[in-house]
Structure 1
């Protein structure tokens, strides 16, 4: 069983999540605010865009990398002088880091179960809101040379298939879909997040992977996507929240407002996510 290196991304600089239970990241300082609604802080009064400045730190599921990076750029352009730092990794890793004290302002998870780790520890500022949903696809090599058309095809002798680890949302969803289909699959490896699983196919180190359709779309012609009916039984809700001990509460609130706004939803649905 292999474990992938967890990746993080920053609009201008890079920070790294070192693993489940990591106690801290680089400390950041800032203050900001923005108009809109805040699912993580009910009843808070929105502020004017002119007040938004400094930095905001966002922990987000790996599958949100492309769309959140776009939204981060939008945020920075809308509020000159701001800077958005992202840590993208498996939701379980991020939740463990938050509950261990890693400084962050916003958490966007790929499942309610991993968000519950944060809310159960009292680390959320309010009730998380579901902002998108995602569904699975089979990613194959370009052109689908093995003619894969179902989950059962993944059991063929000689095929190298990878899955996300069961502890992360994409792995839990894949397990649910496999159980629904009655398929027993012995993968070549379990990966720590969906991007790591997809990369195995992109690099031709695997013939197929069960990942999110948004990741297949983001990969372009590097992979082919195969729909399968059991994916409808394993749709993941994505919740987002402002964190209770956010170092930069106002900036975090402003980012959550952007994500949940009509503009944010256009970016996310354009990336292949479904509306709640």
Structure 2
């Protein structure tokens, strides 16, 4: 089950700058490779992509990497063209790039808002723009998985209106596009992570809680989750694997929320 043998997976947000721990993109790429997929990774810098590539190849997997700016149309076209040129198909697309900046409408500078829309929403639009024409011509269609956030479903305790609006947009973009392409064998779904412990979350701690010690900040985050702990990158990767697999062949326009119960809770202790 959940085999990706013979499939080609194009993954953005593929890199990881710190060797310790697992980021979501890196975990997805390694897991997909373990299940037999050939991985083509796009990342803003090659240096951070090399770590993921080395992890895949150390286990005998196949992986190519390429610089790709998800907010730039020419760059994304070049990335998609390179993957298709090498393999002649793209079976899976994973949109994993995301970035959050604090602020409400009255305090967030306009250029910061625009960057939030570009990196979170335009990135998904551009990748789909160039991958969908390939997938709809394939007899086997394709599967597109975008990584959203529970910030697109509810307020999660931080003023990050740009990020919240962008992640909500990804959910609706996915639902609408899924219906348009349903008859063409192309499925689009989202994974919606809650609080996930990654190297990026540690970096966020320094930005949002500079006066806290890291262990105190992480303990606070764990306590916000009804299950008593944050998830990890593998929780997200496992959900993405299911949606990419043939076992999910009748699922499109949907979301899998991976949040330890946060969005089902009032946020108040019993």
Structures share a fold, TM > 0.5?
A: no
Higher relative contact order (CA 8 A, sep 6+): 1
Q: TM-score, normalised by structure 2?
A: 0.31
Higher percent of residues as helix:
2
Higher percent of residues as strand:
1
